[in-house]
């Protein structure tokens, strides 16, 4: 299985390649990618440098143009496809049918991967994208159980990529409107969940408050770790009790499922985190590289090492990890 690593900055790119990633995924510095935060991503004129750097490590470069084009702004998405093709990237990760259609017709040799933002959760959807746009791989949403992924793999429509580690999205990816509800912008169109200009950190006598467009998301006691405010992982008063209503801050970690995923023929393991630091990328990629190599060398005796679990636990939100929907028993 290929190890696909996040690279939201030059430092993270170097870290991912040095730590042993088989591929890195990057975004352009605009609203065409779902991690459009200030200080992240790459200027289009630097894509050639990114590709050259990856080639030195025999790694691939995937460009995420995975938001949905807005009316009147199509030229931004069209230009992003043109720039990625010109840089001769290894693949384009896209969700919008207009983007996929333009890329497949204009650059038939450009490899297309279906983004998780497309929320394709059944084999008929995958077949439609393959027939219309000749997608070569699909990144599966994190709402699917291992049983559901197995059913998709049985149909063998296209090779599959799954998330192995990182922040969880508990919503149907590509369909979340929580950020839009709070501040009028969402990762689906503007490329940012909880855009930085809407985020406030306020010290109060009750504790450190985080607000999104004025909406109180959470309040932290002195010394309590404060995460980046998103509505889905905030604490709210329900039935006179303050608690995490949607999801607790926790990170996905599927090291235990590596043999299962390999048995299903999963082509690639993806690590979340283009908004993360080079140090995070180094530790996450290095740990998963060691695990994948260990599995490949002796599949029958593979057991995740305690050191790997600890290393990933240090990177996890709230210092917690979960198997998420992969371990779900209901259907």
**Number of domains, the chain:** 2
Residues 152 and 295 grouped into a single domain? yes
The C-alpha atoms of residue 119 and residue 95 are separated, in whole angstroms, by: 8
Retrieve residue 197's tokens: 């200009």
- Cα 22 from Cα 55, distance rounded (Å): 11
Domain of residue 227, residue span:
178-244
Distance, in Å, from the CA atom of 234 to the CA atom of 17, rounded to the nearest integer, reads 34
Q: What pLDDT, on a 0 to 100 scale, did the predictor assign at position 107? A: 98
Beta strands in 67-159 (DSSP E): 91-94, 112-114, 137-139
- Report the C-alpha gap between 230 and 50 in whole angstroms: 31
Sign of the Cα pseudo-torsion (155, 161, 164, 169, in order): negative
Residue 43 located in a structural domain: yes
Q: Which of 9, 326, 330 is nearest to 165 (CA)?
A: 326
Q: Are residues 149 and 18 in the same domain?
A: yes
Q: Are residues 124 and 34 in the same domain?
A: yes
Say yes or no: 204 and 321 in one domain.
no
Residue 173 lies inside a defined structural domain of this protein: no
pLDDT of residue 319: 66
Query: Distance between CA atoms of 91 and 84, rounded to whole angstroms?
Result: 9
- The pLDDT score that the predictor gives to residue 281 is 97
Are residues 236 and 304 both part of a single domain?
Answer: no
Q: How would you classify the pairing of strands 268-271 and 112-114?
A: unpaired
Q: Tell whether 314 and 275 lie within a shared domain.
A: yes
Last residue of a domain, one of 244, 261, 276: 244
Q: Do 34 and 160 reside in the same domain of the chain?
A: yes
Looking at the structure, tell me whether residues 267 and 128 fall in a common domain.
yes
**What's the confidence (pLDDT) of residue 152?**
95
CATH number at residue 139: 3.20.20.70
Task: List the chain pLDDT tens, one digit each, 331 residues.
Answer: 999 999 999 999 999 999 999 999 999 999 999 888 888 999 999 999 999 999 999 999 999 999 999 999 999 999 999 999 999 999 999 999 999 999 999 999 999 999 999 999 999 999 999 999 999 999 999 888 899 999 999 999 999 999 999 887 767 777 778 888 888 887 888 877 888 889 999 999 989 999 999 999 999 988 887 778 888 888 999 999 998 888 777 788 999 999 999 999 999 999 999 999 999 999 999 999 999 999 999 999 999 999 999 999 999 876 667 777 777 655 5
Which DSSP string do the residues of 31-63 spell out, in sequence order? Answer: TTSTT--TT-SB-GGGHHHHHHHHHHTT-EEEE
Task: Name beta bridge partners: 65.
Answer: 94
Rg of the chain's alpha carbons, rounded to an integer?
19
Both 240 and 254 in one domain: the answer is: no
Whole-angstrom CA distances from 235 to 60, 230, 246, 286, 321 are 40, 10, 9, 33, 19
pLDDT of res. 318: 67
Helix or strand or coil: residue 24?
strand
Cβ count near 146 (within 10 Å): 18
Domain boundary among 218, 244, 270: 244
pTM: 0.91
In a domain, 230, yes or no: yes
- 150 and 12 in a single domain? The answer is yes
Is 223 part of a structural domain of the chain?
yes
Same domain, 60 and 156: yes
Of the candidates 244, 264, 286, which is a domain's last residue?
244
Please tell me whether residues 93 and 163 are part of one structural domain.
Answer: yes
């Amino acid at each position: 299985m290929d190890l696909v690593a996040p690279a939201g900055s030059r430092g993270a790119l170097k870290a991912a390649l040095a730590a042993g990633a088989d591929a890195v995924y990057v975004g352009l510095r605009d609203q065409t990618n779902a991690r459009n935060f200030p200080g992240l991503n790459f200027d289009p004129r630097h894509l050639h440098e990114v590709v050259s750097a990856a080639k030195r490590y025999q790694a691939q470069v995937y460009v995420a143009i995975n938001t949905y084009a807005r009316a009147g702004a199509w030229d931004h998405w069209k230009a992003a496809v043109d720039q990625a093709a010109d840089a001769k990237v290894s693949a384009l990760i896209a969700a919008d049918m207009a983007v996929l259609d333009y890329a497949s017709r204009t650059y038939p040799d450009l490899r297309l991967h279906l983004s998780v933002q497309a929320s394709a959760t059944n084999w008929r959807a995958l077949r439609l994208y393959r027939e219309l746009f000749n997608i070569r791989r699909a990144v599966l949403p994190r709402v699917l159980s291992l049983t559901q992924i197995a059913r998709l793999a049985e149909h063998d429509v296209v090779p599959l990529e799954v998330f192995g580690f990182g922040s969880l999205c508990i919503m149907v990816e590509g369909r979340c409107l929580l950020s839009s509800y709070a501040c009028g912008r969402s990762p689906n169109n503007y490329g940012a969940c909880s855009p930085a200009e809407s985020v406030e950190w306020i010290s109060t006598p009750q504790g450190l408050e985080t607000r999104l467009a004025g909406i109180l998301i959470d309040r932290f006691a002195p010394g309590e770790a404060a995460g980046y405010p998103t509505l889905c992982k905030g604490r709210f008063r329900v039935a006179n009790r303050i608690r995490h209503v949607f999801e607790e801050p926790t990170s996905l970690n599927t090291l235990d499922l590596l043999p299962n995923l390999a048995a299903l023929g999963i082509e690639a393991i993806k690590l979340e985190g283009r908004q993360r630091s080079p140090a995070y990328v180094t530790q996450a990629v290095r740990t998963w590289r060691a695990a994948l190599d260990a599995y490949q060398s002796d599949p029958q005796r593979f057991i995740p090492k305690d050191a790997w679990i600890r290393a990933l636990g240090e990177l996890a939100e709230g210092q917690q990890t979960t198997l998420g929907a992969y371990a779900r028993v209901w259907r």
